[in-house]
Each structure stands twice: as C-alpha cells, then as structure tokens.
Amino acid sequence: MMSKTPSRRYRPLYLVCLTIACFGGLFTVTWGGGAIGASVEQMGKSRATARVLEVEGNRSQGHITVEFTTRDGRRVETEDRRRGWPADAGPGDEVEVVYDPNDAAGSVQRFQDVRKALVVVPCFTIVAVLSGVAAYRTRPR
C-alpha cells in the first residue's frame, strides 16, 4: 500500500522557483519603474550633445561642467552634480543631455536611453511569471 505522506522531493525546486519569481518581480518593478520615471522626466525636453569641460570630485559629492549648443544656437555652459552622470566621463568627452528650452542652463540632465528596458523588463516579467507558475505547481501539499 502507498504512503499518504506528501513527497518532499519537490521542496528544493519549490523554494528555488519561489525565490526566482520574487527576485524577477522585484527587478521588473524596480527597473520598469525607473525606466518609466526617466521617460516621463525627459518628455518635452530638447536633446543635445554636450562636451565635458571639467570633472571635480567623486560621483557622490563632485561636480561636472558641460557645454552644449541649444536648438536655437545659444552656447550654454553649466555645472551639475556628478550623481547620475557616467562614472568614466572626463574632460573632452561627449555626452547626450536633455534640457528645458526655457531654462537650458538650469535644467540640463544626462539623457537616459530607456530602449534597453523595453527588452530587459519583459524578460524579467516572463521569468517571474514562469517561476511563479512552477512554484505553484511544485508547492507542498
């Protein structure tokens, strides 16, 4: 006669699937939310290529000075905190920036290309869903 005790052979698989589902969901929400936030923040702003003039300090407390030309031909030189700018940016490098045409010097930010999120976020979502289904199917009963 067969035993009525539940099999424990699926327990490790259940825990692995559950962990992958949780982390996949976390990455989906974090990266997807960040991409949406960056996209919304850049809406309505103009884009330009800026030249790095000076870099001071480190990424958490330093400043970066960039120079770019607006669409209407004005040359703008502005200083911003280094946080959010490329870590390897140095004098003479070119970086993509976005700015508000009404306040070019006061609103310059590094351009964030969110296109890579269009591939990565759905992949994390699919992995999270499939792992969740697998965790449900292998759950202890």
Angle, CA 117 vertex, CA 38 and CA 115 arms, to 5°: 80
Instruction: Tell me the fold of 46-106.
Output: OB fold (Dihydrolipoamide Acetyltransferase, E2P) (2.40.50)
pLDDT, greater one: 86 or 1: 86
In DSSP terms, which residues pair with 99 in a beta bridge?
A: 46
Closest by alpha carbon to 98, among 80, 116, 115? 80
To 10 degrees, the CA torsion angle through 68, 106, 97, 100? -100
Whole-number pLDDT of residue 8: 66
pLDDT, greater one: 81 or 50: 50
Total-model pTM? 0.65
* Residues 6, 120: Cα–Cα separation, whole Å: 38
**Among 48-52, 62-66, 67-71, 85-89, the least confident range:** 85-89
Whole-number pLDDT of residue 6: 55
Whether 131 has a pLDDT exceeding 70, the answer reads yes
Q: Quickly tell me which residue has 């890579």 as its tokens.
A: 116
Whole-number pLDDT of residue 4: 56
Those residues whose C-beta lies under 8 Å from the C-beta of residue 28, and which sit 6 or more positions away, are 121, 124, 125, 128
Those residues whose C-beta lies under 8 Å from the C-beta of residue 107, and which sit 6 or more positions away, are 45, 99, 100
Q: Domain-by-domain residue ranges, the chain? A: 9-44+114-141, 46-106
Taken in order 83, 87, 92, 96, the sign of the CA dihedral is: negative
- The encoded tokens of residue 6 equal 């539940």
Q: What is the mean pLDDT of residues 111-127?
A: 88
Q: What is the mean pLDDT of residues 113-133?
A: 90
In this prediction, residue 1 has a pLDDT band, given cuts at 50, 70 and 90, of very low
Whether 69 has a pLDDT exceeding 80, the answer reads yes
